[in-house]
């Protein structure tokens, strides 16, 4: 592996992918062939890591099929669409959170983000959300449970007159 050394979980893979995308995406001055290599290596590693996970079960102990390849494809598409927005982007577990970004609300809605008014940010998650608790959980509690990766955004540049 050239780009994703030491990655052992899907969360780590996604964090690393996001960082590589910020640096090597052609819109950010990167190289197209590097992005193709990164995407190819990401797909191979995603399949390898996801094959090691066990089948999940619902609360009534019924197993269900989970299309990891479809989730992977959706995640990559979302990250590629928001790569250049001027907002703080955070990956917490399998969720993508965008703090601020009000001026991008139409773009975020079109991608599938939902606004979480109590958390004051936009969130995206693949598939249907199944709530596990009846109580409201703070963003800090979610970070503590799943870990988070904040991605530094580009600062706005203003022209001085």
SS3 for 43-62 is: HHHHHHHHHCCCCCECCCCC
Rounded to whole angstroms, what are the CA distances from 110 to 41, 114, 118? 28, 10, 21
DSSP letter, residue 100: S
Residues 14-42 pLDDT 10s: 888 888 888 888 877 888 888 889 888 98
What pLDDT sits at residue 67? 65
Return the SS3 of 124.
strand
What pLDDT sits at residue 35? 87
Rounded to whole angstroms, how far apart are CA atoms 90 and 17?
A: 13
pLDDT of residue 80: 86
DSSP β-ladder status, 121-124 and 95-99: antiparallel
Residue 153's pLDDT is what?
Answer: 54
Would you call 33 helix, strand, or coil by DSSP? Answer: helix
**CA separation (Å) from 64 to 41, 57, 111?**
28, 6, 26
| 148 strand-pairing partners | 92
Our separate counts of H helices and E strands in the chain read: 5, 5
pLDDT at 106: 93
Most distant CA pair in the chain: distance in Å?
65
Domain assignments of the chain as residue spans, ordered by start:
10-151
pTM here is 0.63
* Three-state secondary-structure class, residue 101: coil
Intervals of the chain under pLDDT 50: 55-65, 155-161
Q: How far apart are CA 85 and CA 73, in angstroms?
A: 20
* Long-range Cβ contact pairs of 23-27 (< 8 A, separation 24 or more): 25/80, 25/83, 27/83, 27/84
């Amino acid at each position: 592996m050239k780009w994703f050394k030491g990655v052992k979980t899907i969360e780590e893979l996604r964090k690393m992918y996001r960082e590589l995308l910020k640096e090597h995406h052609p819109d950010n001055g990167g190289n197209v062939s590097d992005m193709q290599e990164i995407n190819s290596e990401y797909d191979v590693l995603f399949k390898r890591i996801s094959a090691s996970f066990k089948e999940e079960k619902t609360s009534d102990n019924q197993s269900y099929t989970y299309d990891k390849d479809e989730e992977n494809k959706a995640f990559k598409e979302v990250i590629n669409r928001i790569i250049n927005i001027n907002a703080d982007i955070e990956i917490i577990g399998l969720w993508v959170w965008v703090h601020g970004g009000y001026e991008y609300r139409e773009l975020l809605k079109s991608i599938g983000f939902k606004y979480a008014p109590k958390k004051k940010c936009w969130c995206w998650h693949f598939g249907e959300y199944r709530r596990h608790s009846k109580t409201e959980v703070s963003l800090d509690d979610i970070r503590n449970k799943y870990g988070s990766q904040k991605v530094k955004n580009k600062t706005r540049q203003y022209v001085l007159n």
